[in-house]
Amino acid sequence: MIKKLCIIGVGLIGGSLALALRRAGYCEEIIGAGRNAERLQIAQDLGVIDSFNTDMAAAVSDADMVFVAVPMGAMAAVFKAIDAHLKPTAIVTDGGSAKVRVIEDAKEFLKRCYSQFVPAHPIAGTEQSGVEAAFAELYQDRRVIITPSDESAQASAAVIAMWQAAGAEVESMPAAEHDEILAGTSHLPHLLAYGLVNCLFESNNSESYFRYAAGGFRDFTRIASSDPVMWRDICLANKTALLTSLSRYQSELDRIKDALNKEDADQLLCYFQSAKMSRDKFNF
């Protein structure tokens, strides 16, 4: 149970956690914080939060748990703004998609309560954003990865319990490993989808491209509707792992191009078969 939860950034991610914890009866009180009073008012009107405060320092002052769900690029500023105002026992966690960078930011700006900071990443989301898109089931049976430091073992237990109350399965791993995996399964695919949409739209045929697109294209490019600010921040925050991943992918494309250039039917077939086998094994 959490007495008072403060959610900084009440959008899809923060709002869905609030709704899930409300449904589970896991919080006595939820306060929202952020820069935009109008957006926070909507969150309150929707029953996602009980109250809000655009002054982050005030909002966290008597919170037992603080969930920071802002774009990666805003994490450092949030940590800096709240550090001096946290209760000594307060636990701080986040929902950022790249953990090494968040940990660096926390080390630098969460000076007072770094040992109670638990980096976390709920592997869930949709291409939608904003509190209107939030729903209580977003985390049901989804994974949340935490990447805690040795000092934050006790705080981790509270964060794990919170995510479990929201329906998620929590696992722990080193931050660098998290960043490498997510670069491949999430950050790179977003880049690829953004790239494809621009590639087609910048051509002369752009109207036709979309007119004659089918379901495969729709699914493939859905993530290109994701929030640009959030993804700019994620890409910059996970730059190193993402560049490695992108380079590996470019080599794959070179392999395919080479096989196609040589009209090497066997190599193409083998390549596609191996991908299909891997994808089918992965039983979604």
Footprint on residues 86-145 left by a second copy (CB under 8 A): 123-127, 142-143, 145
- What sign does the dihedral 165-171-174-176 (CA atoms) show? negative
The continuous run of DSSP H or E covering 246 comes out as helix 239-261
**Across the strands, what pairs with 94?**
68
**Residue 236 sits in the site that holds a second copy (CB under 8 A):** yes
Q: Tell me, what amino acid is at 242? A: L
**Residue 76 sits in the site that holds a second copy (CB under 8 A):** no
Residues in the chain: 284
Residue with tokens 């992108």: 246
Contact segment (CB under 8 A) with a second copy among 76-84, 104-112, 148-156, 187-195 equals: 187-195
Smallest gap from residue 168 Cβ to a second copy (A): 12
CA distance 279 to 271: 12
Smallest gap from residue 220 Cβ to a second copy (A): 5
Binding characters for a second copy, 10-49, by CB under 8 A (x = yes): ----------------------------------------
Q: Characterise 174 by phi-psi region: left (phi > 0), alpha (psi -120 to 50), beta (else).
A: beta
Binding characters for a second copy, 213-232, by CB under 8 A (x = yes): xxxxxxxxxxxxxxxxx-xx
Of 29 and 73, which CB lies nearer to a second copy in the complex structure? 73
**Residue 77 sits in the site that holds a second copy (CB under 8 A):** no
Binding characters for a second copy, 250-279, by CB under 8 A (x = yes): x-xx--xx--xx-x-x--xx-xxxxxx-xx
Smallest gap from residue 203 Cβ to a second copy (A): 7
**Across the strands, what pairs with 24?**
none
Smallest gap from residue 13 Cβ to a second copy (A): 12
Centre a 10 Å sphere on the Cβ of residue 245 and count the other Cβ atoms it contains.
22
Contact segment (CB under 8 A) with a second copy among 43-51, 59-67, 81-89, 183-191 equals: 183-191
Of 18 and 183, which CB lies nearer to a second copy in the complex structure? 183
**Residue 72 sits in the site that holds a second copy (CB under 8 A):** no
Of 38 and 266, which CB lies nearer to a second copy in the complex structure? 266
Are 257 and 250 spatial neighbours (Cβ–Cβ below 8 Å)?
no
CA distance 239 to 31: 33
Spell out the residues 6+ positions from residue 41 whose beta carbon is closer than 8 angstroms to its own.
Answer: 52
**Residue 157 sits in the site that holds a second copy (CB under 8 A):** no
- Map residue 52 onto helix, strand or coil: strand
